[in-house]
Every structure is written in C-alpha cells, then in structure tokens.
Chains A and B, each alone.
Chain A
Amino acid sequence: MEREPEISIRIFSDPHLLATVRGAIDGLAKCVGFHDKSRALLTLAIDEALTNVIRHGYGNQTQGMIWLHLWRSADPRGLRIIIEDLGKTTDPSKIKGRELEDVRPGGLGVHIIKETMNESVWEQRPSGGMRLTLAKWLNAEELAASYPAPSNPEQSNS
C-alpha cells in the first residue's frame, strides 16, 4: 500500500491507551460512512488486535511499540488497517479463533476479528514482529446512505 494513510498512530503497548485509540478509529469510521453497529464491530476488532499484540506479542509489557495505520479505500468503500509491532512472532498458520462451543474465558479475540472484518491477514515482518492487515467494507445500506466517494481518494488529503 503506497499512499500515505489517513491516520497513523504509534502507541506503547499499554492497555490504558486503548480507549484513546478506539475514539480515533470510531471518528474516522464515521467519516467513511459506517453506521453505529458496524463502527462498534470495527472498533472492537481493532481493539482486540491491539490487545493481542499487548498480551501475546509483548507479554503485557507496556513499553513495546505498536504502529496503527488507517486508510480510506474507494473500491470497495471502507477502511484498510495495518497494525505492526516488534514483539514476539507467531506462525500465522497457528493463529486461529477457538471453537465457541468450548465456553471458557479467553481466546475470543481472533474469533471476533475474523467474524467482524472482511479481510484479516497475519504475517511475520521481515525485520521482526508481526503485521496484521485488516479491511472492512461498507454494507449495502451504508453505501446507499453515504455521500459519494471521493473521485480519487488515493490522492485525497481531506
């Protein structure tokens, strides 16, 4: 993805910062045209991804670096998100949500991400750490209700 993201945030792996990040995501998602329920799911999925980085990538240490980049996309309309870290790497093929029939605390984050996003791809960064690429598109109702898309959002700075 070559053009600059609409929003880039670098945060420490501190759970107390997550509420601030949720606010930023929700604001951009509203601008893109997501309705309340979709915004709630989108925010939740990104929050779960960040929580996983803090918990598993950095072992709950609060001084790890996490980079969050968000792009508006025009076709399909929605948001693309990349989350990168320098924490412990995991084999992407082993990142799976647990079976929901197995009722127990924990292990729900990956399930929530896969359930709520249109795309979710985990990969190991060549220089260390993990990269998670997410995407969520407007649904038909949101598309119909939204303002026309920018003619070329790749060059839009608004």
Chain B
Amino acid sequence: MNTPLVIKSSMVEQTTVLAPQSDIDMARAPSMRDAIKSALESKPSKLVIDLSLVDYVDSSGIATLVETLKWTREAKVGLALAGLRPRVKTLLDITKLTALFTTRPTVEEACKV
C-alpha cells in the first residue's frame, strides 16, 4: 500500500510554494488537488510547485497540473514548476504539455519568474 501524500507548504514573499514529498498517482492526486485549491484561496501572486522529490507522476497527476494551469490563469496567478526529475519531464514531453508550463531547475529560480 502506498503512503498518503504529504505536501509541504511555504511562503516566499507573495509566492506560495507547494512541495509534494512523494509520487503523485491516482491514489494521491486528490490530495494534491485539494492542496492546490486551498493554496489558491489565499490569493498568492504566484504558485510554485516544487517537484524535486517527485519521481513518478501518472496521468492523474498530470490532469491535476493541467487543472492548476487553468485555475491559475483564471485567477491571474503566476505558475511555475520547479525541480522536475527526468521521469516527470518525460511524461510532460510525451503528453506534449511541456511548453504550456514554466519550468525551472530550482524553487529559487521559479520564484523569480
């Protein structure tokens, strides 16, 4: 059985940083979705999702990221993904979504976008 998804949340000035601590699959994507929706309720100027500890994302996780893109565009909140590992980047590539997201190697760089 897999463990629940722990998501660390922090603020860097007006940017909310969400950092899931493990893989995002069908079982864990709802927790990620809830955390993102909750973070957006506080109306940050930017949302950074730190994926540096995420080795695996399935299409449920990708769907959550696409929803996040839609929500942030509607709310006029900036969105950046940080620290993508190779497997996660591969998935974004094969689903042709890479170009839709702003990605940076580190949270620090993502916060500056």
Interfacial residues, chain A to chain B (CB-CB below 8 A): 15-20, 22, 36-37, 40-41, 43-44, 47-48, 51, 54-55, 100, 103-106, 108-109, 111-112, 115-116
Contact = CB atoms under 8 A, between A and B. Distances in A.
B54 interface: no
B112 interface: no
B4 to A, nearest CB: 9
Contacts of B67: 105
A103 B64 CA distance: 12
B1 A20 contact: yes
Interface residues of B, number: 26
B53 to A, nearest CB: 15
Contacts of B11: none
Given A18-B2, A37-B86, A108 B27 contact: no
B25 A15 contact: yes
| Interface majority SS (helix, strand, loop, mixed), chain B | helix
B26 interface: yes
Contacts of B86: 36-37, 40
Interface of B: 1-2, 23, 25-27, 56, 58-60, 62-64, 66-67, 69-70, 86-87, 90-91, 94-97, 100
Given A15-B27, A47-B58, A51-B26, 19 more contacts: A16-B27, A18-B2, A19-B1, A19-B27, A20-B1, A20-B2, A22-B56, A37-B90, A40-B87, A44-B58, A44-B91, A48-B58, A51-B58, A105-B70, A112-B59, A112-B91, A112-B94, A112-B95, A116-B94
Contacts of B58: 44, 47-48, 51
6 contacts: A15-B27, A18-B25, A40-B86, A41-B94, A51-B60, A108-B63
